[in-house]
Amino acid sequence: MEKVREIVREGRRVGKEDPRRVVHAFKVGLALALVSSFYYYQPLYDNFGVNAMWAVMTVVVVFEFSVGATLGKGINRAVATLVAGGLGIGAHHLASLSGPTVEPILLAIFVFVQAALSTFVRFFPRVKARYDYGILIFILTFSLISVSGFREDEILDLAHKRLSTVIMGGVSCVLISIFVCPVWAGQDLHSLLASNSDTLSHFLQEFGDEYFEATEDVDMKEVEKRRRNLERYKSVLNSKSNEEALANFAKWELRHGQFRFRHPWTHYLSLAALLRQCAYRIDALNSYINSDFQVPVDIKKKLEEPLRRMCSESGKSIKEVSIALKKMTKSSSSDIHVLNSQSACKALSTLLKSGILNDVEPLQMISLLTTVSLLIDVVDLTEKISESFNELASAARFENKIKPTVSFNKSDSVSIARGKPVKSQDNDDHVVTILSDVGTSNNVDQSRGESSVESCHHVAIKIDGDDDSIHEKHEDAEIHVHTSCGDQANASEVLNSNNK
């Protein structure tokens, strides 16, 4: 009884993890019940005979969890059966013309050549990814037909019945898979990447608190609980095979929802590869949280501000990618956070060059600089992830729902902005902004051509054609978009136009 209870508990767990598995089981049962009617009803059985078993076999081997996998296997099996059947009949006919002595030799040669060539072709990466099952069926069908001892007219009838039953079984699988609670591999891949992005962003946004927190002043049980929550990123490390399989299945699928027939699934794999690289860096960073050798808190404090900003802004950038993926929209907020993290990197570099760590012990220096190096790698990967997502959004024609925003640096003097719209490659309106301080506007001739932080502020303005309003958001010590500081002579004109 204990074994039975354990099986029941395991069944509940599997069904609870993904309820679609239960639905899939009923779909397979429905397909088998449908094609079994070839046996149960006498008129159908008389037409197909024992060959009706191939319809049942087709359902068993073709029906997969997702629509793409079912379509891929069904098409592979039908085409391979048709081509191999035709070639097998031709080989059998040629061999029969040579006489009873030479016929078995020719048949053996034909089987050897097609089996050897087909098996070698299976090693081609592209062929193995999409047509491996079809080649296996091709080898099997050609061999069975070419070496069969039936007469030529009997072989034609056999091939016709077998191909008909295979097509019937495959069509039954495809129709039930598409119209009864369909599971789309493309949607699963899309959701998986969004989930992976969200998981990585969560770690990066929480890493600063975990790394700089003085553990002796807090509850250790709570710390351990939070650290276990951070380790969700480990699911990203081993997701490559699942992502590649989903992308391969998605290429077979019909258009559904916002996913077109020739949707750029290869771009998803490029983005997934960058997310995995980021996860590997994060895994190394996590080891320094749990390491027995900890850098003293007073040493960490010296670099806390730029390191926290690097973690936080990188996490926010990947979070924006996750949100945009879920909504299938374009977003430039990710690029803004990337620039913020790069600005923090420059500030960190300045601190390190100033000799702030000259008095740190060598072992502590190694641990700290390794962490810094990993974070710099994460910042670089965040930029690549943002660029890869932008390429995906353009190729997949995501909707552009960027809300109009403007972000200024906080300053003691009044900042004046002048915007000039330009057209991007995606026909989206962007604005190049030039900022200057009122206090420095009178010295335009002296400051023209300079681009220091003291003489200008940086801004990012995004204009949506549906909304002419402009919103402002002030933040301390954050650079949002790098712009040049020249061309400030028209600042007063902008101020007058704004007052109007």
Q: Which two tokens stand for residue 139?
A: 């080898």
**Burial (0-12, 13-18, 19+ Cβ within 10 Å), 149:** exposed
Going residue by residue through the chain, which has 500 residues, state the pLDDT in tens, using 9 for 90 and above. 788 888 888 988 988 988 999 999 999 999 998 888 766 666 665 666 677 788 888 899 999 999 999 999 999 998 998 899 888 888 888 888 888 888 888 888 999 999 999 999 999 998 998 899 999 999 998 888 877 765 666 777 777 777 888 888 889 999 999 999 999 999 999 999 999 999 999 999 888 877 777 544 556 666 676 767 777 888 899 899 999 999 999 999 988 888 888 899 999 999 999 999 999 999 988 887 766 566 777 777 878 889 999 999 999 999 999 999 999 998 778 889 999 999 999 998 888 888 777 777 777 778 888 888 999 999 999 999 999 999 999 999 888 865 544 444 444 433 434 444 444 444 444 444 434 343 333 443 443 343 333 333 444 444 444 443 334 333 344 434 433 333 433 444 433 444 44
Neighbours of 164 (CB within 10 A): 16
Q: Identify the architecture of domain 185-400 in CATH.
A: Up-down Bundle (1.20)
Question: Scanning the structure block, which residue is given the tokens 């009923």?
Answer: 26
How far apart CA 205 and CA 193 sit, in angstroms, is 18
The closest alpha carbon to 329, from 405, 412, 402, belongs to 402
Question: Residues 353, 356, 359, 363: is their CA dihedral positive or negative?
Answer: negative
The closest alpha carbon to 192, from 314, 386, 322, 385, belongs to 322
- Alpha-carbon distances of 324 from 90, 294, 313, 321, 381, rounded to whole Å: 55, 37, 16, 5, 18
- Alpha-carbon distances of 354 from 3, 347, 364, rounded to whole Å: 67, 11, 18
| Residue 48 pLDDT | 62
Q: Which residues pair with 408 in a beta bridge?
A: 474
**Amino acid occupying residue 138:** F
| Residue 93 pLDDT | 83
